[in-house]
Structure 1
Amino acid sequence: MNSALMGRPHIPTARTPPLRGRQREMAMVVDALENSWARESTFIFVEGTIGSGKTRFLRECIETARDMGLGVSRRNLLHGPASRLPEEGEGDGRGLVVIDDADLLSVLEIDGLVSSEKGRGRQGVVWLVARRVGNCSRHLHSRLSLPGDEILHIPLGSIPPAEAAVLAADLLGAPLSLPVAELVRRTGGHPKLLVELLNGMLEEQTLLVTSAEVRLLEDRLPERLYRWVKAVLDESSPQCRQFLRVAAALGDRMSLDRVRAMLGLRLVELLPLIDEARALGLMTTSPDLTFHSPLVHQVLSAMVPSELRRILRREVGGPQQHEGGGVLLSEAKTRRLTDKERAIVRLLAQGMTNGQVARRLTISPNTVNYHLKKLFRHYGVNSRVELLNAVGED
């Protein structure tokens, strides 16, 4: 019998889905490969945060170069993370030299790599170098490039929402239902965050994959996602971890004055912490200081014990009014729940999903979502668990 009919999610066959949301970046690489004959060397520096898909992008570039009949060299990548790239045959003349995680190479490794490749005297070589944001690899840059070489920089940011939805459907092997599509939207187009979310939900069987669509069985985030975000935090300094968790606990929009007051820091002392958080990919690089996505904020906030979150918010006066419509927590206490809201909260407390609540109350799932979003804003919370705790204190 079909496993989907038995109530167990079907885990799609492992395969590499098409590269999504990187059309502009791939066009830059293709143009450099096609015109490499006109110069001795071209250097393409691919820069991205943790989980931005640098290695996956390199794989696509390797396949493209091979399809164009160019040789691909990785024999000098020595060891370590670069070994994730596939072995390719080498060619004569024009070709592609690939270096993954260049910021992890030592000065000695860089010198050996450059001497070996440049000693071959090839014309029209394209160097494709991937590194993390915030790691300049100055020695590699200066050893590789000459004044006549072309240098390109390709930043790998988030992928557009529509492309993220297509990628999710690729990974799951079926179209997304509206609740699943909304969950995907909350990842903010972060490739690794999206992959960890979906894999974790499949592992915990909170998604049901059928040939018709992917359905949401339970509205909770998987432990795998929390583990991945924690692993990213472990790459940061203790000060940055504290900064991010406190900021997340205080509300969904970053307030430097409130964070500074909580941490006892001067504003100028926050600048390196902001740079570090952005390099991790947990905060946006836009002028507005915000978390990368609602999902990142939700996970970081959940890492702070609920009692501590309440104390932090009380000490700074609760979540302040902002454009998203949030209100002070103390103000939220003054309004009583409507009968409809009280019924929804009671059924949520029994462990029902949004769909089950809708069926029990004979209303549409969209109506349930509308009331929940309104309650989330009203109480200044970001999850069902936080909402139940906040309502319970009323």
Structure 2
Amino acid sequence: MVGGGSGISGDLMSDDMLERDHELREIARILAGARLASGHPNVPIIAITGTEGAGTSRVLAETADIGRRLGYRLGPRGRGEALAAGTRQALGAVPQDAPVLLTVDEAHLTGADDLVMLHVRAQEAANAPVVLAAAGRQRDDGTADWLPADDTAVTRLSLRPLTQDAVREIIARRVGAPPTDTLARFAAQAGGNPLLVTELITGLVEEGAVRVVNDRSAMLRAVPSGRVELLVRQRLAALPRPYQQLLQVAAALSGRPDPLRIRSIAQLSGAERDVLDQASSSILLRRSDAYVRFRSVLAWLAVRNSMPALLRAIVKTGDPGDASRDRSADQAIPSRPRRGESHGSDTGPACPWCALTDTERTIAVFVSEGLTNREIARRVFLSPHTVNYHLRNTFRKLGIASRVALAGITAGRHPHDHPRGPAGD
């Protein structure tokens, strides 16, 4: 990003602003043009749209900074649910000869008429060019009910998911080195959502689940961070209880985040459509006319894990005894390497170590570090009983009978960059 007359800072972009330079340059262009206009030009409303976690609020904050650098007077910052007369009245304190920038966050909580009226009355009160920048959510088909019907009055900037290059850059910044292919593929399961990516990597760093090995950021275990689990569960808890249970059952029944078929959306009741809109504008779901699906593998996995293992087993097989064998819930969807990529190991597929799942290898690493089953359980988000189950499988596969023998085998491997990454469970 460049400085100068554009009003855009030349500083290194923060993680949540990666790949948003195009939108920021367009915002700077609009603000620069409106500032030079005379009288009461038909200044467009700047609408910043995206699904939850796309960074609309952050781009709106940067818009205010750009406006300030360009000489705008900033009006009171509003939120969608609080577009009140107080916002307009406060404009009386703004110098009448200065252009004004109003910012409204969570605009999806208000209506298009309110936004237009706010813009018009603000121009009248300020007696100067007034730009209104609003940030809010959009549906997966790109629609947003809060946008004015007159498209000519709106300049819309829709935020896209991050590319894999941007995800790799976030990992490098947060961990301190470029990621291995395994870690990059694991992070890609956030679906390019900036919020999920940053929460995933930040959580893995905090939990000691990633480490720099041979100048590369590598995983110690292929499970989502607790921060991601908490974030998804908070969004799930915001839905009515029957819909929470519906998503949990759907996640438990599927072996991957396959589409959840529903009857035609046109046949749903108004209340059902409202709940669906709420979930599909969040990090939980995405939808088309025929189906909804989990927005990302990580969202699916976190919803699945929010159901106790015993209930998952009953829902899936009808047999509560299968709870300890429901291993797929603590692992992400296997990601196969692309041609020419390496998992970072030259061990052959026939060796006993390679026959272990990622969970079993991760637990073996912690055993070699002297952790108890209960301590390991806290690290890998499993019960001590399930950890013991994985250890028994590991002993059987390796032909050993003690933790000491397991520690000896693990010491001869690469415990900080598992050969199969998230695959294998």
Do these two structures clear the TM 0.5 threshold for a shared fold by scoring above it? yes
> How far apart are the structure 2 equivalents of 1:148 and 1:245?
39
SS in structure 2 at match of 1:281: coil
Question: Which of 344, 363, 383 is the matching residue for 2:356?
Answer: 344
Structure 1 76/344 Cα, relative in aligned 2: closer, same or farther at 3 Å? Answer: closer
Q: How many residues align?
A: 326
Quote the offset at 1:233 in angstroms.
1.6
Gaps of 5+ in 2: 1-12, 84-92, 319-325, 335-348, 369-405
8 Å Cα contact 1:94/1:125 also seen in 2: yes
Listed as ranges, the matches of 1:205-354 within 5 Å are 205-208=208-211, 212-251=215-254, 252-256=256-260, 268-269=267-268, 272=273, 274-285=276-287, 289-314=292-317, 340=352, 343-345=355-357, 348=360, 351-352=363-364
> How far apart are the structure 2 equivalents of 1:153 and 1:81?
22
Gaps of 5+ in 1: 1-14, 83-88, 326-336, 377-394
> How far apart are the structure 2 equivalents of 1:253 and 1:78?
34
Tell me whether 29-38 or 52-61 shows the greater mean CA deviation. 29-38
Any idea what the Cα deviations from partners look like across 1:294-315, whole Å, max 9, x if unmatched? 1111111111222322332336
SS in structure 1 at match of 2:53: coil
> How far apart are the structure 1 equivalents of 2:359 and 2:201?
26
SS in structure 1 at match of 2:57: helix
8 Å Cα contact 2:220/2:418 also seen in 1: no
8 Å Cα contact 2:17/2:55 also seen in 1: no
Tell me whether 171-180 or 196-205 shows the greater mean CA deviation. 171-180
8 Å Cα contact 2:81/2:110 also seen in 1: no
8 Å Cα contact 1:19/1:60 also seen in 2: no
Equivalence for 2:124: 119
8 Å Cα contact 1:283/1:289 also seen in 2: yes
Alpha-carbon RMSD: 4.7
Question: Which of 20, 29, 41 is the matching residue for 2:18?
Answer: 20
Structure 1 308/218 Cα, relative in aligned 2: closer, same or farther at 3 Å? Answer: same
Equivalence for 2:403: none
Quote the offset at 1:341 in angstroms.
7.4
Equivalence for 2:136: 131
Equivalence for 1:184: 187
> How far apart are the structure 2 equivalents of 1:291 and 1:352?
32
Any idea what the Cα deviations from partners look like across 1:341-383, whole Å, max 9, x if unmatched? 78414981770359x999667689998317x63x44xxxxxxx
Equivalence for 2:28: 30
> 2:103 is aligned with what amino acid?
V
Would you say 1:369 and 2:381 are equivalent positions? no
Structure 1 26/244 Cα, relative in aligned 2: closer, same or farther at 3 Å? Answer: farther
Equivalence for 2:103: 98
> How far apart are the structure 2 equivalents of 1:103 and 1:55?
12
Quote the offset at 1:189 in angstroms.
1.1
Structure 1 307/266 Cα, relative in aligned 2: closer, same or farther at 3 Å? Answer: farther
> 1:205 is aligned with what amino acid?
G
8 Å Cα contact 1:40/1:125 also seen in 2: no
Would you say 1:71 and 2:72 are equivalent positions? yes
> How far apart are the structure 2 equivalents of 1:230 and 1:177?
29
Q: TM-score, normalised by structure 1?
A: 0.65
Any idea what the Cα deviations from partners look like across 1:100-157, whole Å, max 9, x if unmatched? 12345699x979955762333445432111123369675x958xxxx79621233334
Tell me whether 176-185 or 241-250 shows the greater mean CA deviation. 176-185
**Which structure is larger by alpha-carbon Rg, 1 or 2?**
2
Q: What percent of counterpart residues are identical?
A: 20
